[in-house]
Every structure is written in C-alpha cells, then in structure tokens.
C-alpha cells in the first residue's frame, strides 16, 4: 500500500526527484484551489435580488372625513433571487410595507415563521393579495392633494418597502434586509375587464452596515 504521492513517485522512479516535486506541487495547487473556492463561495455575501414581476390595483380611494383613510385592493407577484452561487439563504422574516406619499397604509407577510430556505442560485416567487376598508393613514393636506391629482389620471405611485432578516449558509449572523420597490400602478377594473399594462420593477436593495452582511 502507498499513499498517492508515493505511488506517483514510484511510477516515475527514474525521475524520482522531479516526480515527487511535481506531485507535491499538484497537491499544493489543489489545496489552494479548494481554499479559494471556499473563500469565494462562502466568504463574500451577495444580497438577494427582489423584483415585482406583476401587480394589479383594483381599488384605491382616500376619504378625509371623519378621518383620513385609505381603502384598497392590491395583488403583486414578488420574485426573490438568491444570487450566491454556493450559499443557501434562510429567511427568518420578510414583510412588505405598502406606502403612499411616504405613509404606510398596510403591512403583509411575505415570509413568516417558520423559516424559509432559498437554495443558492434559486428564485422563489410569492403572490401577495390584500385589501382593506378605511385604514387610518396620516396623509396630511399635501398627501390628499397628491391623491386627487393621481386619481384624476387613474395612475398611482405606491411604494412597497421590504424588510426582514436573513442568514447565509456557514454564517452565524442574522442580517437585516431592506429594499424599496417604487410602483406606478394604473387602476384596474374589479372584475378584471380591460387591459392594464404593468412594467416589471427591480427593487433597490439598501446596503447593510452589518459586518458579514
């Protein structure tokens, strides 16, 4: 029995010194290559990519008496891409905060407990459907004016703000996630009649200040 290096050297007995040096060199190169792969694959974290593939707004009204409220119906398709080529991503939470004129009017869970695991280089698609009647919102007079102006055109600027926590394979830190997705939504018919065009939107992921995230 012999180890790999001894067998390699035996095969090249007439050139033993050269052969042994060659085998040792190959072993060193292989070890360095493994280290480089581990560092590149697990050392650097690539934050997820978020895209809104589709969205539909079939009701959006603001009432100002007796209090300022919003009533709405919104559905959207959110694609979440794990851009890391080696590391899986475990989500402990992920929420979508719906905002109009920088004021939140609802919040829905995209991922809730228990945790959700997204493998490396994979994309998960979530379909969110929500609505509410007369949700109190602090719009103010400027926000009400913006609503009336947009309502006249039948197109509303609504921002989806994403937030949550994620941990990457072989890492111990739960990283905070924040992203914002500005949507320009044409008001559609509740019965689905009429064609409404939606422009696919890539969300802006805010850079994390956490070490290792």
pLDDT confidence of residue 4: 54
Q: Which H, E and C letters describe 68-121, residue by residue?
A: CEEEEEEEEEEEEECCCCCCCEEEEEEEEEEEECCEEEEEEEEECCCCEEECCC
pLDDT confidence of residue 154: 95
Give the model's confidence band at 43: pLDDT under 50 very low, under 70 low, under 90 confident, else very high: low
Give the model's confidence band at 189: pLDDT under 50 very low, under 70 low, under 90 confident, else very high: confident
Q: Supply angle C-alpha 211, 52, 158, rounded to 5.
A: 95
pLDDT confidence of residue 19: 55
Q: For domain 46-210, is the CATH number 2.60.40?
A: yes
Give the model's confidence band at 15: pLDDT under 50 very low, under 70 low, under 90 confident, else very high: low
Give the model's confidence band at 213: pLDDT under 50 very low, under 70 low, under 90 confident, else very high: confident
pLDDT confidence of residue 196: 83
Task: Give the tens place of pLDDT for each residue, 135-180.
Answer: 999 999 999 999 999 999 999 999 999 999 999 998 999 999 999 9
Q: Where is mean pLDDT largest: 33-47, 159-173, 193-207?
A: 159-173
Picking from 61, 53, 50, the residue whose alpha carbon sits closest to that of residue 100 is 61
Considering the chain, what is the average pLDDT of its residues? 86
Task: Give the tens place of pLDDT for each residue, 93-142.
Answer: 999 999 999 999 999 999 987 899 999 999 999 999 999 999 999 999 99
- With 70 as the cut, is the pLDDT of residue 25 above it? no
pLDDT confidence of residue 91: 97
pLDDT confidence of residue 31: 46
Give the model's confidence band at 35: pLDDT under 50 very low, under 70 low, under 90 confident, else very high: very low
- How far is 110 from 64, CA to CA, in rounded Å? 30
pLDDT confidence of residue 24: 66
- How far is 126 from 53, CA to CA, in rounded Å? 10
């Amino acid at each position: 029995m012999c180890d790999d290096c001894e067998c390699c050297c035996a095969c090249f007995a007439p050139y033993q010194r050269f052969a042994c040096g060659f085998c040792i060199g190959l072993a060193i190169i292989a070890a360095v290559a493994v280290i480089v792969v581990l560092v590149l694959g697990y050392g650097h974290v690539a934050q997820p990519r978020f895209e809104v593939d589709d969205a539909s707004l079939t009701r959006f009204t603001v009432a100002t008496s007796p209090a300022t409220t919003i009533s709405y119906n919104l559905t959207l398709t959110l694609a979440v891409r794990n851009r890391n080529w080696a590391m899986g991503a475990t989500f402990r939470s992920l929420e979508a905060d719906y905002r109009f004129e920088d004021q939140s009017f609802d919040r829905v869970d995209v991922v809730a407990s228990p945790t959700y695991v997204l493998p490396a280089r994979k994309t998960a698609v979530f379909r969110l459907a929500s609505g509410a009647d007369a949700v109190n919102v602090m719009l103010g007079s400027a926000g009400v004016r913006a609503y009336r102006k947009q309502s006249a055109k039948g197109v509303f600027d609504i921002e989806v703000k994403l937030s949550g926590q994620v941990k990457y394979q072989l890492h111990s830190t739960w990283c905070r996630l924040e992203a914002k997705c500005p949507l320009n939504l044409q008001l559609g018919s509740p019965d689905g009649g009429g064609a409404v065009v939606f422009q696919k939107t890539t969300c802006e992921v805010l850079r994390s200040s956490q070490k290792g995230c």
